[in-house]
Amino acid sequence: MVSSIQFDFNQHSHRRFNPLTDSWVLCSPHRTQRPWQGQEEDNEVDTRPSHDPTCYLCPRNKRAGGTLQNPDYKSTFIFENDFPSVRQDQPSLVDDSGDDLLKVQSVRGQCHVICFSPLHDKTLADMTDAQIRPVIDAWINTYESLRPKSYINHVQIFENKGAAMGCSNPHPHGQVWSTEDIPHETAQELKNMRAYRKRHGGGSKCMLCDYVRTETDNDRKAKSSTAASALASSVPSAPVRAAVATTADGSRVVCENDSFVCVVPFWATWPFETLVLSKAHLARLSDMNEQQKEDLANILRRITCRYDNLFNCSFPYSMGVHQAPTDGSEEHEGLSHLHLHFYPPLLRSATVRKFLVGFELLGQAQRDLTPEQAAKRLADCSEVHYKAV
């Protein structure tokens, strides 16, 4: 039966395609009204000291193994993980079973920890641009030091922030896992960017370059439309109509600068998921010039501060950098476009999180809040940290 009601993206179920992963996300905006009687996270006030004598990552303290001691570092500090997920000094495994169902491969690699600051009570959200810049330099230096190694074909830089994301130590830090293989998520993105380029005539066509243009153009149109609507509503004789979102073209831009744009992607799965994209086609962090490095520090501070201000809490997330693998492939070099994913779990408040369960594990990803609604809420947040007000 065909309904006479006009379709409203803010009220009616629909699904959105993620070209990076070649998958769909179900969007059910009407479900934001459902009551919640499920699990709630603790929202403890962050009262950490600037130095914790029991912390394995603070300057001058003994590390988790009990034998090594951290130096009295003043900025960032990089060391090989004392409990790595992959090692370089292990034997190779040759799978000669020929079994298509039970395949196995050995994986060599290295794991590093990067302490962002000597101060135990800091996060990226309340650090300055100047304090974040050495973190970016540490990422670049670690990537470049691993890049020539023959058994390293991919370098994954990431941060897990908060206990809700499984972070084992609250000291501000991230990790670098470098592996012999190219992990599934990166491999899928490269595969789909290759297919996109082929569909659009080959050459140097780039999916994420096109997406940056799409989102920034859409942002300008949305702001122009909002300004025109505000002007029309100020005229007494203008008819007032209820707003119906008949397209999904509301702005998804949260913040931007000359070099980077941060958006809630059109296909976002997590409620306040964001994607930070380089406006220029850069393959890796080390391809940035000095201004782009400064701008990356700026955009990281701004989005993480907005996250904290959304619910007035230390907002948990997993964040990761996607850049060119280190396998020496010219094709991968050309396809790769520098971007960072933020996957935060919080849904309605500092204590209510999203769970990927049921239909989402067995069918496909699902979200309630539309990406446009999430982007507006983040864009409306201050860039002055709530603890500093």
* Catalytic residue ranges: 173
184 is in an annotated binding site: no
- Residue 163 C-beta-side C-alpha neighbours within 13 Å: 8
Closest CA to 276 of 257, 290, 251, 289: 257
Q: In what order do the strands lie in the sheet with 365-367?
A: 14-18, 23-27, 365-367
Residues in contact with 343: Cβ distance below 8 Å, sequence separation at least 6, in sequence order: 269, 270, 273, 317, 318, 319
160 is in an annotated binding site: yes
305 is in an annotated binding site: no
Instruction: Please provide the distance, in angstroms rounded to a whole number, between the alpha carbons at the two ends of the chain.
Output: 54
Residues in contact with 317: Cβ distance below 8 Å, sequence separation at least 6, in sequence order: 159, 161, 162, 165, 307, 342, 343, 344, 345
189 is in an annotated binding site: yes
81 is in an annotated binding site: yes
359 is in an annotated binding site: yes
120 is in an annotated binding site: yes
105 is in an annotated binding site: no
CA distance 112 to 301: 23
341 is in an annotated binding site: yes
| Other C-beta atoms lying within 10 Å of the C-beta of residue 277 | 24
33 is in an annotated binding site: yes
Task: Quickly tell me which residue has 């693998």 as its tokens.
Answer: 325
- Residue 272 C-beta-side C-alpha neighbours within 13 Å: 27
Interhelix angle 207-233/184-199, rounded to 10 degrees, is 80
CA distance 265 to 114: 28
64 is in an annotated binding site: yes
14 is in an annotated binding site: no
Contact criterion met (CB below 8 Å) for 113 and 175: yes
Displacement of CA 254 from its chain's centroid (Å) = 13
377 is in an annotated binding site: no
Nearest-5° Cα angle at 347, 343 to 352: 115
51 is in an annotated binding site: no
360 is in an annotated binding site: yes
31 is in an annotated binding site: yes
State the pairing for strand pair 23-27/365-367: parallel
Interhelix angle 290-311/129-146, rounded to 10 degrees, is 120
206 is in an annotated binding site: no
69 is in an annotated binding site: no
381 is in an annotated binding site: no
Would you list which residues are annotated within the binding site? 31-34, 55, 58, 64, 81-82, 120, 160, 166-168, 171, 175, 189, 322, 339, 341, 354-355, 359-360, 366
Binding residues for Zn(2+): 55, 58, 120, 171
- Specify binding-site residues for Fe cation: 189, 322, 339, 341
Report the binding-site residues for UDP-alpha-D-glucose. Answer: 31-34, 64, 81-82, 160, 166-168, 175, 354-355, 359-360, 366
